[in-house]
Amino acid sequence: MSTVTEPDAAASPAAAAAATGAPDGRRRAVVLVANRGEIAVRVIEAAHRIGAEAVLAVSQADRDSLGARLADRTVVIGASPAGQSYLRPEFVAQAAMQSGADAVHPGYGFLSEQPALCEMLEAEGIAFAGPRAETLRAVGDKSSARRVAVEAGVPVATAASVDHPDDLDEVRRLGDEVGYPLLIKAVHGGGGRGIRLVESAEDLLRLVPQAAAEARVAFGNGDVYLERYYGAARHVEVQVFGDGEGRALVFGDRDCSVQRRHQKLIEECPAPGISDERRRILHDSSRALVRLLKYRGAGTVEFLVDTLSEDVVFLEMNARIQVEHPVTEEAFGVDLVAAQLRLALGLDPELPEVPALPPAAAIEVRINAENPEEDFRPHPGLITRVEWPRGPGIRVETHVEDGYAFPPFYDSLMAKLIVRAHSRDAALAALRSAASRVLIEGVPTTLTLHDFVLSHPDFARGAVSTSWFGPVWAERESQRKETAQ
């Protein structure tokens, strides 16, 4: 199901050299990038940075994308634009073999945390730029990840697995054990999906069977569990990198508390307003987890930090690069993606030990093709004009350009705008300025949301909770509608 597109030597001398060998006669390493959008562009750039050839696996819909043009070669996987191309491990494994790949980088989402792809590649002697299959299994299932966290001495919230969602007496007993309010979570969920807030036993009895049924449809598995809910908590995560043998590097922490329906909107490094003691708990816990797992490559350990009790509790581990990894890279001056590729290719990842706090502050906003004034309805379409800000400390991660037909088949992320400065206040001021200079015509975007949040005094003070954005945005929308009448 794959087709290799050979480079045009006349149009791309670099691509021709990659196909025939480096000028000094040594073979360049070949990296297959098994993803799309801005993360595909990011990985291609990292592959070129370490001197490797980048081959991009694309669906029919992405054959003319920016990533396809930046890659040395492309491999078309799948037969239909709206198909499941990027979700089929056998397609990616076949493309890797056909293109002569030494390593495959899965980006985030899609197959990035699927053991099946890792095993298929390893059977063919192709490296996977990520953890081992057994590690993916250990942390991919939230119940299993919790057990591993407990073994590593990581603090966890009170929780209980629901083995029989139709046994309402058992469900009631488990709910009473965990305590209210609580969350119902899909064991195999992700990205904020499959989560229900429950305030009472009556709601629990009604919602658990529904949540289990929805989880079966969305994730192919109906397992759910209950977890104590912290209503005034912050979402703080720790960036880690392991060598696969027990060495654990920690690259600070990020605050991802500005969320809408459990989806992150803005991220920053370091997390503001965290005490030295809480930061030590976050970093030491993450380091212990990496060592126990003998984790390989980049990963993120996610926590809740309760704003009232300051309790720190483990949420999950994401065994991949994160959407928000650029804020960590900018704050610490490292290249995590290049390090992933170097490690996968058997090289020194060339990452230094770093202090708990970075020398700079960085903030990132996600720009989506959505209309915030229509309940964030996605808006694919033709992008007629794009302009990005420039200047010291400004970084843009995107696959969007003039004339790009934003497809309806995938998520709505268009770009990430990241700003770095010597302090959080300076970074926030610079980001306000940079965001105001972004121009995207043809489709609505979430830039109005970011203008609102970045100018809000609560956000300026820092340390907002995960429940902050919903009410303040609803109030803003109510006022806007009243004014329009």
pLDDT at 25: 55
Hunting for tokens 């000028």 — which residue is that?
23
Taking Cα atoms as reference points, which of 51, 135, 131, 123 lies closest to residue 94?
123
Using pLDDT thresholds of 50, 70 and 90, give the confidence band for residue 485: confident
pLDDT digits (tens, 9 = 90+) for 228-250: 888 889 999 999 999 999 999 99
Token pair recorded at residue 387: 């302009």
Looking at residue 222, what is its pLDDT?
86
Query: Positive or negative CA dihedral for 71, 76, 80, 86?
Result: negative
Give the pLDDT score at 310: 86
**Active-site residue 437, yes or no?**
no
Q: Is the pLDDT of residue 15 over 90?
A: no
Which residue spans of the chain are classified as CATH 3.30.470.20?
A: 233-484
Mean per-residue pLDDT for 116-140? 97
User: What's the confidence (pLDDT) of residue 262?
Assistant: 87
- Correct CATH for 233-484 of 3.40.50.300, 3.40.50.720, 3.30.70.1900, 3.30.470.20: 3.30.470.20
As a whole-number percent, the residues of the chain with pLDDT over 70 amount to 93
Q: How do the residues of the chain divide into helix, strand and coil, expressed in percent and rounded to 5? A: 35, 25, 35
Two tokens, residue 407 = 């497809």
> Percent of the chain, pLDDT > 90?
81
The pLDDT-based confidence of 309 (bands split at 50, 70, 90) is: confident
pLDDT at 320 over 90: yes
Among 42, 88, 320, 342, which one carries the catalytic annotation?
320
Q: How far apart are CA 114 and CA 464, in angstroms?
A: 33
**Confidence (pLDDT) at 2:** 45
Q: Is pLDDT of 190 > 70?
A: no
Virtual torsion, Cα 362, 367, 371, 376, nearest 10 deg: -70
- Res 96 pLDDT > 80: yes
Average pLDDT rounded to a whole number, residues 167-187: 94
Fold type of domain 2-129: Rossmann fold (3.40.50)
Is it the case that residue 81 has pLDDT exceeding 60? no
**Is residue 474 over pLDDT 60?**
yes
Alpha-carbon dihedral sign for residues 6, 12, 15, 17? positive
**Which comes out higher in pLDDT, residue 361 or 24?**
361
Q: Which of 72, 84, 124, 76 is nearest to 103 (CA)?
A: 124
Distance CA 278, CA 273 (A): 10
- The CATH 3.40.50.20 domain(s) of the chain lie at 2-129
Q: How far apart are CA 105 and CA 129, in angstroms?
A: 5
Mind listing the pLDDT tens digit for each residue in 409-421? 899 999 999 999 9
Q: What angle do CA 209, 214, 219 make, to 5 degrees?
A: 130
Close Cβ partners of 268 (under 8 Å, ≥ 6 residues apart): 254, 255, 327, 361, 362, 363, 364, 424, 427
- The full length of the chain comes to 485
Residue range 434-468, pLDDT digits in tens: 999 999 999 999 999 999 999 999 999 998 999 99
Look over the chain and give the mean of its residue pLDDT values, rounded to a whole number.
92
Secondary structure of residue 469 in the 3-state scheme? helix
Give me the CATH code for the 158-228 domain, please: 3.30.1490.20
Q: Tell me the average pLDDT across 360-366.
A: 98
For CATH 3.30.1490.20, the residue range(s) in the chain are: 158-228
Which of 138-152, 180-194, 232-246, 279-293 is the least confident region?
A: 180-194
